[in-house]
Structure 1
């Protein structure tokens, strides 16, 4: 069933399909860091919002408490995150990304930028300009999705 929209200048269905395909390509881009999607997602989330409580990670990553606890334990063992007491609540802990964890995200981002740059070379100047002009709206859309 097609969602009903009042947008005359934007076909939301076409946008969603293109976005899904780009996301699939983006997620599967080869990387030196051979980590699972969930691991990378947690590290990326922490790179933007560290520190976080486990309950917040459960909500953002949409996994069970058991799964996030196991993952954070593994990441902590690997030196990518660390747990510290929450100064506002002595019963809770906050998960912080370490410099090593941030480095993983930075290197993956750098790799992806290089790979995407190669794809963009295949676009016409007009197509590149269209993407450039859409960036503010895409950033705002991401903000709305993170709100």
Structure 2
């Protein structure tokens, strides 16, 4: 991977934001295509992976909650959840005290598929990290907490 050159194809004047966007985009693309050696696109689409990850962190969300958190339309989320229910990855359960509402939870199959997908990603990242020198590895290790905070801020503020 080459380090992005801020003078090329830059849209804004913020070199740091541009470089980070370029690297994250390339990293996501590389990881997604690499993990597909174990998980074909059609067997576990990224939208389903993202929902499984969310439901692992926040079990029992309603369709509207998932839609809001993923910035998607309710009907789009409902369609995706229906596909995941048919695939055995999630289950719809009644919300106690609200006969009209349902919550979505991971099934054992969904948890297993998410765990397998996560392990496949960890193997690929670990292998790539092993090829870095100590200074590069230390820089990545030091950046991870700040990147987590950045992700949270982006989620909060859109």
TM-score, L = length of structure 1: 0.84
Deviation digits for residues 72-122 of structure 1, max 9, x if unmatched?
Answer: 122112221111111243221111111221111111111111111111122
Contact 1:81 1:95 in 2 (8 A): yes
2:18 counterpart of 1:13: yes
Q: Distance in 2 between matches of 1:136 and 1:40?
A: 22
CA contact (8 A) 2:63 2:77 kept: yes
Displacement of 1:2: 4.1
Per the alignment, do residues 29 and 88 of structure 1 end up closer, same or farther by CA in structure 2, a change over 3 Å counting? farther
Inter-partner Cα distance in structure 2 for 1:94 and 1:46: 10
TM-score normalised by the chain length of structure 2: 0.79
Pairs aligned (count)? 143
Residue 34 of structure 2 aligns to a residue whose secondary structure is coil
Relative to structure 2, which stretch is displaced further, 63-72 or 103-112?
A: 63-72
Residue equivalent to 1:115: 124
Instruction: Name structure 1 gaps, 5 residues minimum.
Output: none
Contact 1:54 1:94 in 2 (8 A): yes
Contact map agreement 2:31 2:124 (CA 8 A) in 1: no
Q: Could you say what secondary structure the match of 1:93 adopts? A: strand
- The answer as to 2:152 corresponding to 1:143 is yes
What are the residue-to-residue correspondences of 1:1-147 with 2, within 5 Å? 2-3=11-12, 11-31=16-36, 32-33=38-39, 34-147=43-156
* Equivalent-residue separation in structure 2 for 1:113 and 1:46 (angstroms): 20
**Which consecutive unaligned segments of at least 5 residues does structure 2 have?**
1-9
SS at match of 1:35: coil
CA–CA distance in structure 1, aligned partners of residues 153 and 97 of structure 2: 28
